[in-house]
């Protein structure tokens, strides 16, 4: 079964698909769709035009308790963890196939709820999530445990076991992929999961849970509790019967989750947090057109709502004018347009509050002395949606607010430096350490800079290369865990030593 491509379908196809959606806003607990016990609901508002598209169960502590109890029962009864690996693999593979066959519906939900272009919802979210579940499905029956090299009369076995009940708390920017990056390795290891989607993007996550049931993942193994962070999210993170929190989101929330763990049962905490990623273009790199175009294209993709967005462009002065010229030209290709048009590259920001926050940063940039090269204004205001034009600031210094804080919108800061050593110093002068990049045709220079960059992911002569085989996560205040690759399985496991005296 192949996934659809958005480009093969017309804008009217996507509008019709979105209008025909039957949207589910209830929580999924113990295999059943349920309203919040309190009866509370909140509105899902589309940032495309400000319309209310659904009412969603506002889960709180009581619902979280029910979801955790269900997950624990499923775990203790061995409904999932005790299945032979080959059986779990087949079910997760079926799940991946079902996600692909529901691509139009899932992609429309993602675009409707958080405003990104439909092409990105198809390729990034749905196909990305399906690939992730398929990849971890394949891993399950290929991983062996270990025997330690002990003495002749001893047998020491090192085995990996699931943690138990884990919670995935995820953001709205890639609602399906961030959920998949947590749920897939967690399920592959045999854990039971409670997924808490962001309040801005609960609809695709609820559908994900329904499709998991259809694929044969037993009831209670994947529960979905929509709700606010300070209610549902906090209740999960403080719960005494949750064994691990796996979080993608802001550094501020990550800090709280560590506190909640410390004050409850010391549950394991895995954090994928924010970034302010440096992208260094050095004068030794000949193809400035490619380097600068990539800088713009990766900055403005997904409206800049990307944790690894290369938001600090650090450029050696010798090539600065050339880089700025290309960036300004490329930014023009990213004007916001109808998110359901498959040709659209930039959609709406997640909501009006976030668009206002981004515009406040634009004002701060101008106030602190940066030069606005392009953008800096709202777009498509007549639609009632949350659109901001692609924005580039030059003459930025690394102490300005727009160079230090994560904006999470389409705002690029260009910082000039004199040489590679200064570029590295500026790049590393940040509380974040998620991704970084260097463009250089000098092999030695490229390697030395890459080694010096304090970031979990370093690109050389590219940006945003991505594959399930490589770990994803940050240094410093960008977090402490790793998504993707076989390494992620360690996050969702306990290591047990069983020592047998022979
Ligand atoms: P956020 O921290 O506000 O929210 C993320 C999730 O945490 C949501 O589900 C929210 O409801 C929940 N939450 C909020 N407060 C909580 C609390 N007190 N207790 C428990 N849960 C709580 O982040 P956001 O604005 O939704 O997402 C944007 C952030 O996510 C950016 O900082 C971005 O860099 C980061 N992000 C990081 C990665 C990565 O892999 N490093 C990937 C995507 C996004």
Same domain, 222 and 322: no
Domain of residue 55, CATH code: 3.40.605.10
Same domain, 292 and 206: no
Same domain, 68 and 50: yes
- Whether 229 lines ligand 1, by a CB cut-off of 6 Å, is yes
Kind plus residue range of the DSSP H or E element containing 34:
strand 32-34
- What is the distance in A from the centroid of ligand 1 to the CA of 250? 4
In this prediction, residue 4 carries a pLDDT of 54
Same domain, 94 and 188: yes
Catalytic residue (choose from 307, 316, 406, 491): 307
CB within 8 Å of 168: residues ≥ 6 apart:
179, 182, 183, 186, 193, 194, 195, 196, 246, 247
- What is the distance in A from the centroid of ligand 1 to the CA of 255? 11
Q: Is 152 designated active site?
A: no
What would the pLDDT profile of 25-82 be if each residue is shown by its tens digit? 999 999 999 999 999 999 999 999 999 999 999 999 999 999 999 999 999 999 999 9
Same domain, 313 and 168: no
In this prediction, residue 395 carries a pLDDT of 98
Same domain, 246 and 330: no
- Whether 196 lines ligand 1, by a CB cut-off of 6 Å, is yes
- Enumerate the H helices of 316-442 as residue ranges: 320-331, 352-367, 401-404, 420-428
Q: Is residue 355 part of a domain?
A: yes
Give the whole-angstrom CA distance, residue 413 versus residue 430: 14
Same domain, 89 and 210: yes
What would the pLDDT profile of 283-299 be if each residue is shown by its tens digit? 999 999 999 999 999 99
- What is the distance in A from the centroid of ligand 1 to the CA of 287? 37
Same domain, 491 and 440: no
Same domain, 68 and 10: yes
Q: Is residue 448 part of a domain?
A: yes
Q: Is residue 215 part of a domain?
A: yes
Model confidence pTM above 0.85: yes
DSSP assignment string, 92-132: HHHHHHHHHHTHHHHHHHHHHHH---HHHIIIIIIHHHHHH
- What is the distance in A from the centroid of ligand 1 to the CA of 78? 31
Same domain, 162 and 292: no
Domain of residue 317, CATH code: 3.40.309.10
In this prediction, residue 1 carries a pLDDT of 39
Q: Is 272 designated active site?
A: yes
Q: How many domains does the chain have?
A: 2
Categorise residue 372: left if φ over 0, alpha if ψ from -120 to 50, beta otherwise: beta
Catalytic residue (choose from 24, 105, 272, 305): 272
Kind plus residue range of the DSSP H or E element containing 88:
helix 85-101
Q: Is residue 472 part of a domain?
A: no
Helix axes 320-331, 288-300, angle to 10 degrees: 40
Nearest CA, atom 22, ligand 1: 229
- Enumerate the H helices of 157-225 as residue ranges: 175-189, 203-215
In this prediction, residue 3 carries a pLDDT of 47
Substitution candidate for ligand 1 out of 114, 125, 253 with most atoms within 8 A of CB: 253
Same domain, 304 and 160: no
Q: Is residue 185 part of a domain?
A: yes
Q: Is residue 312 part of a domain?
A: yes
**Phi then psi dihedrals of residue 123, to 5 deg:** -75, -45
Q: Is residue 399 part of a domain?
A: yes
pLDDT tens for the chain, 502 residues long, are: 344 567 789 999 999 999 999 999 999 999 999 999 999 999 999 999 999 999 999 999 999 999 999 999 999 999 999 999 999 999 999 999 999 999 999 999 999 999 999 999 999 999 999 999 999 999 999 999 999 999 999 999 999 999 999 999 999 999 999 999 999 999 999 999 999 999 999 999 999 999 999 999 999 999 999 999 999 999 999 999 999 999 999 999 999 999 999 999 999 999 999 999 999 999 999 999 999 999 999 999 999 999 999 999 999 999 999 999 999 999 999 999 999 999 999 999 999 999 999 999 999 999 999 999 999 999 999 999 999 999 999 999 999 999 999 999 999 999 999 999 999 999 999 999 999 999 999 999 999 999 999 999 999 999 988 899 999 999 999 999 999 999 999 999 999 999 999 9
Could you tell me if 278 and 315 are in contact, meaning their C-beta atoms sit under 8 angstroms apart?
no
Return the bridge partners of 391, or none. Answer: 411
Same domain, 239 and 294: no
Domain of 422 in residue numbering reads as 278-467
Q: Is residue 473 part of a domain?
A: no
């Amino acid at each position: 079964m192949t996934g659809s491509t958005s480009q093969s379908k017309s804008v009217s196809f996507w509008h019709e698909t979105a209008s025909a959606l039957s949207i589910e806003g209830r929580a999924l607990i113990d295999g059943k769709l349920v309203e919040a016990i309190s009866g509370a609901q909140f509105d899902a508002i589309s940032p495309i035009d400000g319309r209310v598209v659904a009412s969603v169960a506002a889960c709180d502590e009581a619902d979280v308790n029910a979801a955790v109890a269900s997950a624990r029962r499923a775990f203790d009864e061995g409904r999932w963890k005790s299945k032979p690996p080959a059986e779990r693999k087949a079910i997760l593979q079926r799940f991946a196939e079902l996600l692909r066959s529901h691509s139009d519906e899932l992609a429309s939900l993602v675009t409707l709820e958080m405003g990104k272009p439909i092409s990105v919802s198809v390729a990034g979210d749905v196909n990305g999530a399906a690939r992730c579940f398929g990849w971890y499905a394949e891993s399950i029956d290929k991983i062996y445990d270990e025997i330690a090299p002990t003495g002749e009369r001893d047998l020491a076995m090192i085995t990996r076991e699931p943690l138990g009940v884990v919670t995935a708390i995820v953001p709205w920017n890639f609602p399906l992929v961030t959920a998949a990056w947590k749920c897939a390795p967690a399920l592959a290891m045999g854990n039971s999961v409670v997924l808490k989607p962001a309040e801005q993007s609960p609809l695709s996550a609820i559908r994900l849970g329904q499709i998991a049931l259809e694929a044969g993942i037993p009831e209670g193994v994947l529960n979905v509790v929509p709700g606010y962070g300070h209610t549902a999210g906090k209740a999960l993170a403080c719960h005494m019967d949750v064994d691990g929190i796996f979080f993608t989101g802001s550094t501020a929330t990550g800090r709280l989750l560590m506190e909640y763990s410390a004050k409850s049962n010391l549950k394991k905490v895995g954090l994928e947090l924010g970034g302010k990623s440096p992208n260094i273009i050095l004068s030794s790199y000949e193809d400035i057109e490619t380097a600068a175009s990539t800088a713009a294209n990766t900055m403005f993709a997904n409206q800049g709502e990307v944790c690894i967005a290369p938001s600090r462009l650090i450029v050696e002065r010798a090539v600065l004018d050339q880089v700025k010229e290309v960036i300004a030209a490329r930014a023009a290709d990213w004007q916001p347009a109808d998110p359901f048009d498959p040709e659209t590259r930039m959609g709406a920001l997640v909501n009006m509050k976030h668009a206002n926050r981004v515009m406040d940063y634009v004002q701060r940039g101008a106030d602190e002395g940066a030069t606005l090269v392009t953008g800096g204004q709202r777009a498509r205001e007549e639609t009632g949606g949350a659109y901001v034009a692609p924005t580039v600031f030059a003459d930025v210094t690394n102490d300005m607010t727009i160079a230090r804080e994560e904006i999470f919108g389409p705002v690029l800061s260009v910082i000039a430096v004199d040489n590679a050593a200064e570029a590295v110093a500026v790049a590393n002068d940040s509380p974040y350490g998620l991704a970084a990049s260097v463009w250089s045709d000098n092999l030695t220079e490229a390697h030395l800079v890459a080694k010096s960059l304090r970031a979990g992911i370093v690109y050389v002569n590219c940006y945003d290369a991505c594959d399930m085989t490589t770990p994803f996560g940050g240094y410093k205040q960008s977090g402490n865990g790793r998504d993707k690759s076989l390494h992620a399985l360690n996050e969702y496991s306990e290591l047990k030593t069983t020592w047998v005296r022979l």
